[in-house]
Amino acid sequence: MPVTLIRAGTIWDGVSDAPLGPRDILIKDGFIKEIAENIPVPEGAEVINLHDRMVMPGLIDCHVHLTIRPEISPTFWSHSGSYKALLGAQALRIILMNGFTTVRDVGDMDFHGYTTRDLKIALNQGIIQGPRLVTSGHMISCRGGHMDVTVLLSPYCDTRENCLADGPDEIRTVVRNEIKWGADWIKYAASGGFATPSDDPVEVTYTREEMDTLVATAAALHRPVAAHLHGDDAVRMSVLAGVRSVEHGAMASKETLALIEEKGVYFVPTQYAGVRSARFADSDAYWDEMGASQLMRMKIRKYKDALLETAHHLAKSNVKIAFGTDLGVLSFTINGATEFGEMVANGISPARALRAATSMAAELLMKDDIGTLAPGKCADIIGVPGNPFEDITVMEKVNFVMKAGIVYKQA
């Protein structure tokens, strides 16, 4: 691999409260070798001039669904695993070009196979291009719960869905199966959701015994657990059961946020997909543009005040926030970096939002080689045409992308 020297107008390291000023970054064999002012050009090195950009660590999206699109949700069962794999390949390419060099998929939507695992293999073999991929297999759910999509069919259809589990015995089996087929994480639905037809976001869909069994089975096999949840009871029970990350957590109370902070649990708020809908609940234009169902709009309206209140308390808390978009449930025509603007609109500081997608996300994923710019780290590096600490929307204009020392985008 060639030696590369980036000359950056200014850098932000993924941790500091502000950009650090002009620096050069020397990259060798896919890793950062040195960061300093005015590094002499090594013989044979390629020089990349980014003097007009802020250079920072590649972004990390901790909550995507590669194998679904909003358009196909209602006709879910008429699409094959191979079609969903193609959706995944397309999604990975889009995500990388928007500056995300690592993603965690938190719900494989191929309920007969293990497509996100295959996507990861294809990425590692260089068959497709995309970010580093961390997978959680399917979202384990009780029958009738958030991820029981057999509800889209008549009860006369006998459809197999590989992530449904009730009771400790079935839960142990499904967790072990997901791990057997490549899951890095285990994900489960602890509550209903907003977009699904059969459940309500404040319903708790597993007992504490079931949650404890799930977390313990995963822990014995060294897998951390992420939980989908909205209502306060589901959040509190899951935190006490020992999950590593709370996904959405849309209606967590102030007391439960304090518990999350005390336990050191990470919070992935996916606010563009959630709180934004509450902010625009009464705007017909917003709902037409989003193409979301009337059912979802009705549920958002019902819980609007609770959603806004939780967002307010979260911004004021010291909870460890990690960045996630729920792309896949949202259309991939939406740039995931819009989540930054939404977080800032809800009172989260630009520095905290940026750390959520870099150093804090790396901490959640237990990957100490990404998320920051420093010697020895992977050369996952992006450039933006401005200062996101002053205007967070420049994160939607990433115009330089390097992953593991290889340039994928350069304006």
DSSP output for 91-143? HHHHHHHTTEEEEEE-----SSS-HHHHHHHHHHTTSS--SEEEE--SEEB-T
Q: 210 or 326: whose CB is closer to Zn ion?
A: 326
* Least distance in angstroms from the C-beta of 78 to Zn ion: 22
Q: 4 or 102: whose CB is closer to Zn ion?
A: 102
* Least distance in angstroms from the C-beta of 227 to Zn ion: 11
* Least distance in angstroms from the C-beta of 226 to Zn ion: 10
* Least distance in angstroms from the C-beta of 184 to Zn ion: 16
The residues with which 383 forms a beta bridge, in sequence order, are: 55, 400
Q: 226 or 265: whose CB is closer to Zn ion?
A: 226
Binding flag, residue 380, Zn ion (CB under 5 A)? no
Chain-centre distance for alpha carbon 24: 30
Amino acid at 118: D
Q: 326 or 380: whose CB is closer to Zn ion?
A: 326
Q: 184 or 326: whose CB is closer to Zn ion?
A: 326
| Residue 130 to residue 30: CA distance in whole angstroms | 16
Contact 339, 329 (CB under 8 A): no
Chain-centre distance for alpha carbon 382: 18
Amino acid at 77: W
Q: 12 or 100: whose CB is closer to Zn ion?
A: 100
* Least distance in angstroms from the C-beta of 137 to Zn ion: 13
Contact 109, 65 (CB under 8 A): yes
Q: 118 or 326: whose CB is closer to Zn ion?
A: 326
Between residue 301 and residue 340, which ones bind Zn ion under the rule CB under 5 A? Answer: 326
**Residue 53 CB-half CA count within 13 A:** 24
Compute the C-alpha angle 129/132/136, nearest 5°.
Answer: 115
* Least distance in angstroms from the C-beta of 90 to Zn ion: 18
User: Residue 136 contacts by C-beta under 8 Å, 6 or more apart in sequence?
Assistant: 104, 105, 106, 107, 108, 178, 183, 184, 185, 186, 187, 226
Query: Considering CB under 5 A, how many residues would be counted as binding Zn ion?
Result: 1
* Least distance in angstroms from the C-beta of 202 to Zn ion: 17
| Residue 22 to residue 281: CA distance in whole angstroms | 43
* Least distance in angstroms from the C-beta of 102 to Zn ion: 17
Between residue 164 and residue 203, which ones bind Zn ion under the rule CB under 5 A? Answer: none
Q: 326 or 342: whose CB is closer to Zn ion?
A: 326
List contacts with Zn ion (CB under 5 A).
Answer: 326
